[in-house]
Structure formats: C-alpha cells, structure tokens
Structure 1
C-alpha cells in the first residue's frame, strides 16, 4: 500500500498584520491606466506613484518618512502630454527618476530633497525616438547615465541621458509586442519576453540575439514584480 506524503508549508502559521494608519500613504489617486507596468517605484529616500492627472500624465513623489494622509494639492511631477506608464529610479543617484509615457517620450527628472511648493514640470532631459507608446524603462545596473526603453513599436533603445543621445536601437529582433525587459547583474546581457511567446537573451553590444526559447504553451508573463531572472 502506497503512503501519501504531505509536505507541510513553512508558512502555515504565519499571518499578516495590517500596518497602522500613520504608517500608510492615504488619499493617493493611483492611475487607472490598464497598461501592465509598475505603478510605483521606491528607493532609499522616496516612493514614487503614478497618479490620475487631467490633461496629461503625472506621478507623485513622497519622502519615505512622510506617511499618513497626503494633501490633495501635493505637488506632482508632470510634463508628459499623455498618461505615464512606467517609472524607474536611477540606481546611482537617489534624486533622479525616469518616466515613460503614452506620448512616446521618456523623461528624466531631478527630485529635490525638500518637498517642492509647486509641480515639477521641467525634466532634465526628454528622450525622443519611439514612434508608439513607451511602456518599459530600466536603468543599466552598473554604467552611469545609461537608460533602456522599450515601446509598442517593438524597439529597444539605449540612451545616454547625460547627453540625450540615442546610443543604439535594437530593431528587427521582436516580431510582436515586447512584454518585459531585464538586465543581468553586470549589464552585459538583456532578457526579453514577447507576445510571440518567446524569451530572448540579447547581447546589446553585438546587437545580437544569443539565445531564444521555443514558443511557450502559454504567453510569458507581461510584467513581474522583480526583474526577469538571468544568470550573471
């Protein structure tokens, strides 16, 4: 007679507990845009959240220590002419954040340590090169001032944000919409998921696809909370 072995979960007796009201951020009008992207980004100083905004796109930046009810007139970071779809803090400077939008542009912003009294409307640089909305941005993990963007035009573009220069364009590598892009640890390789159900590993310096998976039975995940796994 076979004996069934039941493996018990290590989290069987672990229970979550809601935080207190004074440790929450309340009354934030989070964006209702249905694009599958990160609506918030956090670094050691700030939390940034994409919010509803009339007449364009915007996000709010709050100091991590400033919890509680957020004033409805709190200044926003606003400059895009269409909804913001993705935001990402620079890993080398806690006061720099990039935003991508339906207006086909990417903007890079300098955030002051103090709370501004009015909206931040002037980006440090505006990056223009996509022909359709941009839903993915990601900073290079080791090289300063290098930012990646991917749009609905099936292009992946690498930028020098210090000069606003387009360093290279990875085109003709994806036959359909790009769902997600991630760097490996040292930034020498990229991994992408695509609507064609394939995962590609790309060497951006050689501008070559070095490996590609067979089509998955079901589509790869669009976006995930952590970077796509890729060996260093």
Structure 2
C-alpha cells in the first residue's frame, strides 16, 4: 500500500473562532443597500460600518475598544445626500477615511481620537468628477494621499486628496460596469474586473491595458453554487487568500504556493448566520501574542462580530515565521513622485513588540489657487497696468499682511485644539 504524502505547511491547522458575545458590537443598523462592497472597514484604531440613515447616507465609526451595545444616538458620519456605497481607511493615517456614495461624490473625513458629541457633517474635502454613482474606493498602498475611485460611469479616477486634484482619469478602458479594482503591492498596476467578464491589468500612468483575456488559469477551484458575491481578502505575508461569500455563512481559505497545484485548500470557518459584509484588519492591528494571522469583522443584520484566525502554537515567544516585517503607516512616496513615474515598495515595520497606533495626525488639504490656472474674469486691465512691477514698499506691505494672517490662523488653530482637548476631558469625565 502506498502512503499518502501530507504537504508540509505551518498554516495547515489555522482555525477560526468567533469572539465572545461581549466582544461584539450590538444594535447597529447595518445598511440594507443592495451593493457589492464589504460595507465595513477596520484599522488598528477604528471600526467603520455603513448604516441605514434617513435623508441621505451615513456610516458609524467606533473605537475598537467600544464593544457591546451601541447607543441609538451615537454620532454618525453623515454628509452624503444619497446612500453610502463604499468606505476605505487611509493606510497612512488611521484617522482618515474616505466614503463613496450614490450621490456621485467622494468625501474624505478626519475622525478624532475622542468620541464626538454630535455627528460629523463636514468632510475635509469633497471630490467631484464622476457623473454617476461611485461604488468603489481604494487608497494607493505606498503614495501619500492618492485615492482611487470607480463609478457607474465606467470611469476610474485617481485623486490627490492633499490638493483635491484629479491626477488621472481612465475613462475609455471599460465598456461596462466595473465590479472591482485592486492595486498591486507597490501601486504600479491595477487589476480590474468588469461586467464584460474580462480581467484587466492596467498601468494607470501610461493609460494602457497591459494584460487581459488570460489564457488557461493556473488553477481552477470549484466553489459552491450560491450566487452571492465573493469578497476576497489576500494576506501577502502568509500567502493565504480568504473568500467570504456575501449572504453566505462561511469563510474559505487557501494557501497560494509557487509550485503546482498552486492553490491549496486549508479549511472553512462556518457559522450559523449569513454575513451582510466583512471587514479585514491590517496585519499591524493583530494580536501577535495570540498567534493571530487574520481578523475579520462580520456584519449581521444588527451587529458586528469579530472572527479571529489563529495558528496553534504552544510557545509564548514571538513567532518570527508567522510575522515577517509588514507594511506600516508611513508612505514611501509623495503623490507627485508617483505620478512622475516613481515606484516604491511599502515601508515595512516589525511586529516583534506589537504595534501601537500613532497619535492623531491631521490631513491638511492645500487646494491650488484657481487663479494660477485660469485667466481672471471681469474687465481686462491694460497691458501697461498688468505688467507694471510692484514697488518695494507694496511688496513689503503684502508680506507683512500675509505674516499677520498666518499668525492669526495659527492662533485660531491652537485655540481650536485647546477647546477640543477641554471637550475631550469633559466627555471622558462624564463617561
């Protein structure tokens, strides 16, 4: 008799476990909009969930530690005039999140570390450029303030959130509705799927499709026959892909290897209730002391339940083989560097001592002066007047005025920060 050779892998025994009841987030009115996004986004500080809201679109942001029953009057992030369809945390600033809506706009929000008293209604910036609903958002993995959006107009727009400008618009690549968009590791290429059943690899800066209509797949994995949307999550550190079926009640996971048969089924985590959506924690937000290699946030109709994937180990020591250096919160490039053609891999950090999120960092938007790019309206000045050099006295007066205004703005910002800190102390004192 021949003995079956068992494939060696440290991930063969990965198992999933739902968090205890007191670690879930209860009484959340999860959105009922029929859209294919995950409806949930999470980072090491916050959990964000798209919720039902009258008179427009909204999502709720909770500190990770605020588990249990959520007060029905808990402040929301609300400003869209139609349902929110997708949300995505900035990978380089844990206090910044973008939202996309049926109202054709994208809004970028600054979330404070303290719990606000009222709903957040003023975004840092509103990005307008799509002609139909915007249903897909994805931040660039290595360049600061670069955000991708895709809409029902079959257009992909890449923005510089720091200035509010459109960096690139890819408007002739997809003949039908775009279903998903994903960056590669260094953000040099995009992979998209479309209603025309074609997978495209796109170089966005060249505006070219560099590969599509692939030949035979390297591996074919038969799934169940349900017609729900599959939400894939890939962890490059472990080479594991997790497939979560929307409307399904299971998470299937597979290890990807470089040798045939390339895709190896590991296991399935199943629970009783179907998932309405799913959030996936970045690796830096995991508990390395418990050998967590993935953590999901599963949306039910009225709650969110964490699900932890763990590799069973007996040792209490840091497991180097499970936790290679992983992308941290620092960008590797500025937006204009990336646009000019530069590429850079993510800036990696070690998880040996665990990860502590940095304190609140504000995103500042500097809009380009519209007068720099457009001729002034109104009656045109004479040639001699418009070209006349400013006197030294006039220049000095303008510079003094600018300096005084800057000092005034800085004083007001310090005053705002002081009031926010006082408010935070008052709120903490009444908890």
Q: Could you state the TM-score of these two structures normalised by the residue count of structure 1?
A: 0.88
Deviation at 1:21, TM superposition (A): 2.2
Q: Which residues in structure 2 correspond to 1:1-232 (within 5 Å)?
A: 17-214=17-214, 224-226=231-233
8 Å CA contact 1:147, 1:160 repeated in 2: yes
Provide the C-alpha distance between the structure 2 equivalents of 1:58 and 1:81, rounded to a whole number of angstroms: 9
Q: Deviations over 1:52-102 (max 9, x none)?
A: 000000000000011010000000000000000000000000000000000
Backbone CA RMSD of aligned residues: 2.7
**SS of corresponding position for 2:167:** strand
Provide the C-alpha distance between the structure 2 equivalents of 1:109 and 1:94, rounded to a whole number of angstroms: 11
Unaligned runs of 5+ in 2: 217-227, 237-344, 346-431
CA 1:112–1:14 in structure 2 vs 1: closer, same or farther (change >3 Å)? closer
Structure 1 segments, 4+ long, off by >6 Å, are 5-8, 10-15
**SS of corresponding position for 2:22:** helix
Provide the C-alpha distance between the structure 2 equivalents of 1:213 and 1:166, rounded to a whole number of angstroms: 29
CA 1:15–1:187 in structure 2 vs 1: closer, same or farther (change >3 Å)? closer
Deviation at 1:115, TM superposition (A): 0.4
Provide the C-alpha distance between the structure 1 equivalents of 2:155 and 2:20, rounded to a whole number of angstroms: 44
8 Å CA contact 1:179, 1:223 repeated in 2: no
* Greater helix fraction, Structure 1 or Structure 2: 2
CA 1:227–1:88 in structure 2 vs 1: closer, same or farther (change >3 Å)? farther
Tell me what 2:351 maps to: none
**SS of corresponding position for 2:231:** coil
Question: How many pairs were matched up?
Answer: 225
**SS of corresponding position for 2:169:** strand
Provide the C-alpha distance between the structure 2 equivalents of 1:28 and 1:81, rounded to a whole number of angstroms: 21
Provide the C-alpha distance between the structure 2 equivalents of 1:114 and 1:225, rounded to a whole number of angstroms: 32
CA 1:223–1:181 in structure 2 vs 1: closer, same or farther (change >3 Å)? farther
* Greater strand fraction, Structure 1 or Structure 2: 1
Deviation at 1:19, TM superposition (A): 2.6
CA 1:162–1:227 in structure 2 vs 1: closer, same or farther (change >3 Å)? farther
Deviation at 1:225, TM superposition (A): 3.5
Deviation at 1:171, TM superposition (A): 1.2
Max radius of gyration: which structure?
A: 2
Q: Could you state the TM-score of these two structures normalised by the residue count of structure 2?
A: 0.49
Provide the C-alpha distance between the structure 1 equivalents of 2:229 and 2:196, rounded to a whole number of angstroms: 12
Provide the C-alpha distance between the structure 2 equivalents of 1:167 and 1:134, rounded to a whole number of angstroms: 17
**SS of corresponding position for 2:232:** coil
Structure with the bigger RCO (C-alpha within 8 Å, sep 6+) is 2
8 Å CA contact 1:180, 1:222 repeated in 2: no
CA 1:132–1:215 in structure 2 vs 1: closer, same or farther (change >3 Å)? farther
Provide the C-alpha distance between the structure 2 equivalents of 1:206 and 1:228, rounded to a whole number of angstroms: 28
